[in-house]
Chains A and B, each alone.
Chain A
Amino acid sequence: MTVFLENARLIDPEALTERLGNVVLDGGLIAAIGAANAPKGAVVIDCGGKCLAPGIVDWGVKIGEPGERHRESFRSAGRAAAAGGVTTIIARPDTAPAIDTPELLEFVTRRAAGAAPVRIHHMAALTKGREGREMTEIGFLLDAGAIAFTDVDHVARDTRSLSRALSYARSLGALVIGHPQDPGLSAGAAVTSGKFASLRGLPAVSPMAERMGLDRDLALVEMTGVRYHADQITTARSLPALARAKADGLNVTAGISIHHLTLNDLDVGDYRTFFKMTPPLRSEEDRLAVLEAVASGLIDVIASMHTPADEESKRLPFEEAAAGAVALETLLPAAMRLYHSGALTLAQLFRAMALNPARRLGLPQGRLAEGAPADLVLFDPDAPFLLDRFKLHSKSKNTPFDGQRMEGKVLATFVAGVQVYGNAGAEEHS
């Protein structure tokens, strides 16, 4: 099927530009950009001057399969992704049990196939049971389709075992994702230390724990030569270390969650557990510093860090409550806050949400260019709405944005040239 998207505001994250134009989708690819007229027989969609960007490649999505399907299934996550303009999900292995064998990876790959309208790639655990002791069968897992390796928020204490896993991963060219956090300093912490944590009497971690974790990981990267991505860099004090590593030519990239860019530690307020995250939300000074780092490109990737949690695990005293938030559907509207505040342009946002993660993971997505996969999102960055968490497609409703005024609505999502969300096609005429 050929689709002609006309009169769209084209967001190009490679050239960091925006312009009005038309796009032709054919054979699952972007066939042409800038064609004046629709090809014969094409379905014509008038974009009405709204934004067309590469679909989001969301790196670090927790799906509850296997083990916690009541929190999120491939089907529900897929629907939420399509509604949020996410065309590729990079799923996390912190399931129950952890995805640490090729058999389990094949199982989830089979489960995911056809269940979701968007693309799903799976990461595998770096160590068995994510325990940080014995490495997984990295070679077999790569053969089975693992896109990267991570123990997610479990930080290995045993640096000798970790260095072996990293050396082995390097020999296979595998990409490893670390969670920069000193495990001792951050043990049991629910919030970032400071005036607010002291006032609320909550167990807290110094933001320095992230710097220490990052310093350790970067030393191991220098030692082993592995390709490394830090999942979330959220504090100002980590940034010089990251900049130095990149300047030294280490194969290092870094990400951050949308929550750490749009919320701060004070948002926890009166023990609101939907604002409990891993790592915990940071001070406003830290938020502004990392926002600046995303703008400059020092931090490469913005992700949802989608973490579904059921009501029971959130309706507990703050210390005991589960951490994390669902965000597949709220990533784009939350990111629009950064656009409307003038902190980031739309092109910079899609560089961090689509182009950079795709590039780092070796995927052809993330570009608005001829020959690239026709994975696209059409959205209105200005459309206002009041977020009602019970209207989310996710099975879990734990979003910190509940009841908040948002701007930015997805109008249509395309995967391989096929519209998987929205009714833009209903307005077709030729």
Chain B
Amino acid sequence: MTFRARHLLGIEQLSPEEIRTVLDLADRYVDFNRRTVKHSDALAGMTQINMFFENSTRTQASFELAGKRLGADVMNMAMAQSSVKKGETLLDTAMTLNAMHPDLLVVRHGSSGAVNLLAEKVNCAVLNAGDGKHEHPTQALLDALTIRRAKGRIQRLTVAICGDIAHSRVARSNLILLGKMENRVRLIAPPTLMPAGVAEFGCEVYDNMAEGLEGADVVMMLRLQRERMDGGFIPSEREYYHRYGLDGDKLRHARPDAIVMHPGPMNRGVEIDGELADDINRSVIQDQVEMGVAVRMACMDLLARNLRAERGRRAMGETYV
């Protein structure tokens, strides 16, 4: 087992072995979560603070549940309505929380790199729950676990990521993870929603769904992030749905056993057909939510082990020096 990271800031910092370690442990937590009595003491005595500078229901609930099932004391801070509004800087907020000795800090922030900045200043393990348009590592890990369980492997697959890639941290983290695990990645989006220079990441770039989906094992749809758009990216939602929304017709270009994924929340009838999203033979969207809790438990468990080991080493050093 390999997992050296002190923080989980992004997939970029993880090795393929570390990714496999997370997925293996998460597999065990999937079974654990299906029991009637689902309580462990892996994080007993530890304090987990969820700091969400952007509103989130699903991710925050998932992290909260993961922490509670591992026995941590979990506190949620809705930062969107807090002292940040009174002009406190991110680092002051971080230092204030740091003085309360949390062990795990789960952070979501609207600015790319904000979680990295915060991790430099605190003494606990920091988990990135999404920073701006940068990374959302637990989402990529839960997607990987979902794919591995559905397809039996997480390499040598053709994965199509479709939709609003420009505004998506989910796309970035998935792109990096799937690349590290040696998969073929295709990006499909209108040129206005495709970030510059992505072809240099070693993925194939398409602006046509039929061509991009040809022979895909996995079809990953992204939410159209209307709240991040300042206008003029697409002519209308109905034209977007017509050209880029996933429905049965477009899905026929993918392999017959291709699975359909979506990080949620979905805009039915904008990026995905409602019926397709609910089709239990193709859609693994509900599985993704289940895997989310297990993956977050695995990540926090592994980070907590490293944190304990680090503190142990420090205590030993203080005793024997």
Contacts and interface: CB of A to CB of B under 8 A. Distances in A.
Contact of A270 (B111, B113, B172, B198): B113
Contacts of B113: 200-202, 270-271, 317-319
A271 B196 contact: no
Main secondary structure of the interface of B (DSSP, over half): mixed
Interface stretch (B28-36, B127-135, B150-158, B236-244): B127-135
Contacts of B172: 198-199, 201
A197 B91 contact: no
29 contacts: A193-B196, A194-B196, A195-B196, A195-B197, A197-B195, A198-B195, A198-B198, A199-B172, A199-B201, A200-B113, A200-B134, A201-B112, A201-B132, A201-B133, A201-B135, A201-B172, A202-B112, A202-B132, A204-B196, A206-B196, A270-B116, A271-B116, A312-B89, A316-B89, A317-B111, A317-B113, A317-B114, A317-B132, A319-B112
Contacts of A319: 111-113, 132
Interface of A: 193-202, 204, 206, 270-271, 312, 315-320
The 3 closest A-B pairs by CB, nearest first: A271-B113, A201-B133, A317-B111
A383 to B, nearest CB: 33
A107 B206 CA distance: 60
Interface in B192-222: 195-198, 200-201
Interface in B280-315: none
A197 B197 contact: yes
A320 B196 contact: no
A199 B13 CA distance: 13
Given A201-B112, A319-B111, A319-B132, 17 more contacts: A193-B196, A194-B197, A200-B112, A201-B131, A201-B133, A201-B134, A201-B135, A201-B169, A202-B133, A202-B134, A204-B196, A270-B116, A317-B90, A317-B111, A317-B117, A319-B113, A320-B111
A200 B134 CA distance: 5
For chain B, the bracket of interface size reads 20 to 34
A396 to B, nearest CB: 17
Interface string B120-161: 000000000001111100000000000000000000000000
Nearest to A194: B197
B109 interface: yes
Contacts of B200: 195
Nearest to B200: A195
B267 to A, nearest CB: 21
A197 B109 CA distance: 18
A316 B90 contact: yes
A189 to B, nearest CB: 12
A193 B197 contact: yes
Given A201-B135, A312-B89, A315-B89, A271 B117 contact: yes
B91 A315 contact: yes
Contacts of A271: 112-113, 116-117
A198 B169 CA distance: 10
A198 B89 contact: no
Contacts of B112: 200-202, 271, 317-319
A197 B197 CA distance: 9
A199 B171 CA distance: 10
B121 to A, nearest CB: 9
